[in-house]
Structure 1
Amino acid sequence: MKKGVVLIFACLLCNNLIAQQNYFNPTQKVKDYLEPAIPHSDQDKEAKGKLAKLSKKPNILIILVDDMGYGDIGVYGGGYAVGAPTPYMDQLAHEGLQLTSTYAQPTCTPTRAALMTGRIPARSGLTRPTLTGENPKVNPWASENTTAKILSQNGYITSISGKWHLGETKGSLPNEVGYDEWLGFAAVQSEYAQFVNEWIYPDLINKPERFAAMKALVNQNVIKGKKGQENTVVQPIATIADLSKVDQIFADYSEDFITRAAKADKPFYLIHSFSKVHNDNYVSEGYKGKSPAAIPYKDAVVEVDDIVGRLMKLLKDLKIEENTFVFLTSDNGPNEDVWPDGGYTPFRGGKGTTWEGGVRVPGIAYWKNTIKPGRISDGLFDLCDLFNTSIALGGAYDKIPSTNYIDGVDQTSFLLSDNGQSNRNAVFMYSETSFMAVRWQEYKLHMKVFNTSAPRKNLDQSVIENVGMSPWVYNLYNSPKEDLSSGHRYFEWGLPGMMGLINAHMSTYQKYPMKDIGLKKPGSE
């Protein structure tokens, strides 16, 4: 073969390879420490035009429900159909943007960490929920930056209302990691429920020495605090009646915080973090039996929906609705292990797994007169993206420190453009520090899978297994329940491209390694 022909052949091969890479990964890297994003110049221009019309910095309200399933909200196939109407959340979707491919982490602590830091939990070390009396050996927040911290330095009043569950030791509570103030509890609903319901936890409550020893490990109070000040007790949680009231206490606080911010004419960043619908569900006065299903979980969904309605009404009454970005979501899929005190998903698996049922959650973006009403999009959205998007809306994007790798991408133009497309190319899924799967376009590729050995035992009776020679692949449009892998048969063309995405993602750990804060389980690698 002549030299010229060889060169032409080599160039053709090179061009074909580049074309394949560009199709599977059309992202552009802007900075070494920021996850590359898909450029969309036209929608970027449109979004900037909308933001330029604002007379002041926008408020940011993130509404985070605990353990709510993809199929609990009416517009996602739940509501009346599953015995718990959700008119206010449905209205939010109808008047805003309903995302059908929003992804969380498999459990609550990792999702909350990702949402606040923009980082996959394997990087922050907050890879799983802490348990009763357990504390990390290293304070993860010493080297992390929250959205609240960055926005507080840029003129915002910042707060979180409700559940924290991201550390209880000194230096780990909200007012110590960047929030100006907060009110809530440090752990999780079940942490407190185990001390108040002897019907469910008799072997703890009915053994006085055991009960006293374990209770001494838990700060069983609703508490509040401000930056630079010590936290103080608002309400003890000593009975089921006390526990039933907490979400109303959180709602009262959120309303007060929003009202104070509006009165001071200050932009606010608030995460309203529900205690519900995490087990064990005890509803507030007036909600028992209020749902058509008349069971505690469904009643709790109705209470959550009513509180969402209260918060949205307040924005309207204060005449700040047109200057407030709202995003409603859940921190993971429903907890099937506690059925029937758990939610509904149409997908395979649930909380604790990286099957769609564990990580695919509702995502609703609302902003009156800025986000076009009635939009529905299947564009990819990772809750990590709320970090970048919130900071971009707050005008502080250039203030994101370069010390940590940020896995989130700025989705402002996707959400605000009337016909916006996602700026995210792929969603990478983990169980603690184990890479499990990736979603790209409508395809989901698994390198490891959860094998659950009993119905609804995703947390209590499952193992992680490696796949065989071929990764397990599902076209989620054709197989949303991930019930029969067809990767080798129908997706051979796509396997190299998707595995290339994984390789590129894993290479970021060379410069920005995983962080161990002491949450690895004994005996694990």
Structure 2
Amino acid sequence: MKYFYHNKFTCSLISVLFTFITAGAIAQKEKPNVVIMLADNMGYGDLGVYGGGEIRGMPTPNVDQIAKEGFQLTQFFVEPGCTPSRAALMTGRYSTRSGLNSIIVAGTPSTLQDSELTMAEMFKSKGYATGMVGKWHLGQETQSLPTNQGFDEYHVGILETTDGTLYPETMRRSRLPEEFIQNAQPYIWESQEGTNELKKVRAYDLEYRRQIEKDIADASVKYIEKQAKSKTPFFLYVGWSHVHYPGLSHPDFVGKSSSGPYGDMVMELDYRTGQVMNAIKDAGIENNTIVIWLSDNGPVQAQGTNGDFMGSSAGPWRGEIGDALEGSLRVPGIIKWPNKIKPSVSNGMVSIHDFMPSLAAVIGADMPQDRAIDGVNQMGLFMGQNKSARESLITFIDGEVAAVRWKHWRIYPRQFTNSDGTPSQYGIGAYRVDGVGYPAIYNIKQDPREQWNQVGFVAWVIAPYLKTVSEYYKTLQQYPNPKPLSMTRFGNRN
């Protein structure tokens, strides 16, 4: 039998240690949980609080409620596509700095490098449990997987894009070999406990396309319920698949809207969001959980073969996914933190790059000093203490400066073709024409559709535009970007 030697010293030591451990546990639990939900291809004009919703036949009461109880951003910006925005969110850097300025297509070398510090790794460094559910789209190499980029768990995993559900069908119509078709088939992935590796769960095909949003919501709810019982704070990243095409919703939502299949998807996404919000509330952690609800890029505007409108809306702005126009980049953005962030609507400029440094300030993490960071800490704005810490944002296409937003001016070194709402006309298929030495300049407040080039009247705007771009180029002297991937330009590029 072992005896524990009692004396004043050991009792005092035990008391001190117990106090220290208890205080540490309390301090750890006082750190807020963070849940980020990222919609796919939802434009500015889809949600009720942004001018869509009920008046477009697809009410969004759950997301609207987050906005009413939280901090709604009316000037929130992202990058032109899925991969660039997700890279910006995870790293706090312009996507071109990590070589992810183009939407990842299978077979290309684009992938998130191990050297990048992700938001998940930042949370882990401060003692957080980290989980992800849904769409990743930052690469399928081993180094790029969520479980190798700071996430403890990954469920209902979409490593690439939902476009892939269409590939087998279109390839069979082209009578390609079945072996070739099977190699292009996307899959759903799941993390394995005790390892960083992922396992295939099932094919991500058109049949499962209808089921996946429910499974993403169910896995998110399960994760919240589990972590709420723990003394460890958690970070959960939910990558929704809606409202990305193909426009297939769960059978329970087919015909729910009066806006066709797209509206059905919007309503399902809203309902699934409500499931996650209810899980947070039912677990008793609502007051200590930051919820951030965003879209990754602007709309895809398209028409189905039966005449149904199959895409989302940029609201008052012009543009869609893939270009550098306002409507491609200005999307819904909402932050809710009860008793910390007062419900309000703000037109302060915020970008997707800002969330990593803002959350770093909340949890007491340091941003890396060995690389360029483009995000800024916006907690002062969110807490109502000061104005936005941002007044400019650069947008890149093909690794080049494609647009600069400075205050309420949008400035283009080159001009985009005009939109007629047809994706093949612009958007991902956009092309730009060279200028004649002067940029195109639009006053977004006066001219949200970007129809009046004011360069001849406001040439003074060129000075801050050039300053913004030159400051970016100065950072490249110390922190050069990797050579950008171009699927149309080959050979060595500076």
TM-score by length of 2: 0.88
Residues 444 and 475 of structure 1 are in contact (CA less than 8 Å); yes or no, is this contact kept in structure 2?
yes
Is it true that 1:471 corresponds to 2:439 in the alignment?
yes
Deviation at 1:211, TM superposition (A): 4.2
Residues 354 and 449 of structure 1 are in contact (CA less than 8 Å); yes or no, is this contact kept in structure 2?
no
Among 140, 165, 180, the alignment partner of 1:168 is: 140
Cα gap change, 1:451 to 1:365, in 2 (>3 Å): same
Among 64, 78, 81, the alignment partner of 2:52 is: 78
Residues 337 and 460 of structure 1 are in contact (CA less than 8 Å); yes or no, is this contact kept in structure 2?
no
Partners of 1:394 and 1:248 in 2: CA distance = 31
Is it true that 1:343 corresponds to 2:312 in the alignment?
yes
1:14 alignment counterpart: none
1:141 alignment counterpart: 113
1:115 alignment counterpart: 89
Residues 223 and 233 of structure 1 are in contact (CA less than 8 Å); yes or no, is this contact kept in structure 2?
yes
Matched ranges for 1:224-303 at <5 A: 224-225=191-192, 228-238=195-205, 240-293=206-259, 295-303=260-268
Cα gap change, 1:190 to 1:211, in 2 (>3 Å): farther
Is it true that 1:106 corresponds to 2:90 in the alignment?
no
Amino acid at match of 2:342: K
Matched position secondary structure for 2:345: strand
Deviation at 1:193, TM superposition (A): 2.9
Amino acid at match of 1:474: Y
1:511 alignment counterpart: 478
Amino acid at match of 1:74: G
Residue deviations 1:328-353 (CA, integer Å, cap 9, x gap):
11110001256632101121121111
Larger displacement relative to structure 2 (509-518 or 181-190):
509-518
Partners of 2:391 and 2:450 in 1: CA distance = 21
Deviation at 1:147, TM superposition (A): 0.7
Residues 78 and 331 of structure 2 are in contact (CA less than 8 Å); yes or no, is this contact kept in structure 1?
yes
1:11 alignment counterpart: none
Residues 392 and 410 of structure 1 are in contact (CA less than 8 Å); yes or no, is this contact kept in structure 2?
yes
The count of corresponding residues between Structure 1 and Structure 2 is 459
Partners of 1:273 and 1:467 in 2: CA distance = 38
Among 159, 167, 182, the alignment partner of 1:194 is: 167
Deviation at 1:487, TM superposition (A): 2.8
Matched ranges for 1:453-492 at <5 A: 455-457=421-423, 458-459=426-427, 461-489=429-457, 491-492=458-459
Amino acid at match of 1:504: E
Matched position secondary structure for 1:439: strand
Residues 185 and 223 of structure 1 are in contact (CA less than 8 Å); yes or no, is this contact kept in structure 2?
no
Larger displacement relative to structure 2 (386-395 or 472-481):
386-395
Partners of 1:106 and 1:253 in 2: CA distance = 29
Residues 54 and 323 of structure 1 are in contact (CA less than 8 Å); yes or no, is this contact kept in structure 2?
no
Deviation at 1:170, TM superposition (A): 2.0
Residues 63 and 328 of structure 1 are in contact (CA less than 8 Å); yes or no, is this contact kept in structure 2?
yes
Matched ranges for 1:196-211 at <5 A: 198=169, 201=170, 204-207=171-174, 209-211=176-178
Partners of 1:483 and 1:104 in 2: CA distance = 22
Matched position secondary structure for 2:142: coil
Cα gap change, 1:392 to 1:227, in 2 (>3 Å): farther
Matched position secondary structure for 1:289: coil
1:5 alignment counterpart: none
% of aligned pairs identical? 33
1:26 alignment counterpart: none
Partners of 2:464 and 2:144 in 1: CA distance = 40
Partners of 2:119 and 2:32 in 1: CA distance = 15
Cα gap change, 1:518 to 1:225, in 2 (>3 Å): farther
Deviation at 1:488, TM superposition (A): 2.4
Matched position secondary structure for 1:334: coil
Deviation at 1:236, TM superposition (A): 3.2
1:63 alignment counterpart: 37
Partners of 1:166 and 1:477 in 2: CA distance = 34
2:327 alignment counterpart: 357
Deviation at 1:300, TM superposition (A): 0.3
Partners of 1:337 and 1:297 in 2: CA distance = 10
Partners of 2:358 and 2:236 in 1: CA distance = 14
Residue deviations 1:160-212 (CA, integer Å, cap 9, x gap):
210111111222110011111111121111112332xx4xx3xx124554343
TM-score by length of 1: 0.83
Partners of 2:482 and 2:417 in 1: CA distance = 27
Partners of 1:231 and 1:54 in 2: CA distance = 29
Output the aligned Cα RMSD.
Answer: 2.2
Partners of 2:194 and 2:79 in 1: CA distance = 28
Deviation at 1:495, TM superposition (A): 2.5
Residues 42 and 299 of structure 2 are in contact (CA less than 8 Å); yes or no, is this contact kept in structure 1?
yes
Residues 136 and 519 of structure 1 are in contact (CA less than 8 Å); yes or no, is this contact kept in structure 2?
no
Among 84, 90, 99, the alignment partner of 1:125 is: 99
Among 402, 408, 419, the alignment partner of 2:369 is: 402
Residues 334 and 344 of structure 1 are in contact (CA less than 8 Å); yes or no, is this contact kept in structure 2?
yes
Residues 127 and 433 of structure 1 are in contact (CA less than 8 Å); yes or no, is this contact kept in structure 2?
yes
1:42 alignment counterpart: none
Larger displacement relative to structure 2 (513-522 or 84-93):
513-522
- Tell me, which stretches of 5 or more residues in structure 2 are unaligned? 1-25
Among 123, 131, 136, the alignment partner of 1:159 is: 131
Amino acid at match of 1:324: T
Residues 89 and 352 of structure 2 are in contact (CA less than 8 Å); yes or no, is this contact kept in structure 1?
yes
Among 341, 357, 375, the alignment partner of 1:388 is: 357
2:383 alignment counterpart: 416
Cα gap change, 1:187 to 1:110, in 2 (>3 Å): same
Residues 176 and 227 of structure 1 are in contact (CA less than 8 Å); yes or no, is this contact kept in structure 2?
no
Residues 454 and 461 of structure 1 are in contact (CA less than 8 Å); yes or no, is this contact kept in structure 2?
no
Residues 175 and 227 of structure 1 are in contact (CA less than 8 Å); yes or no, is this contact kept in structure 2?
no
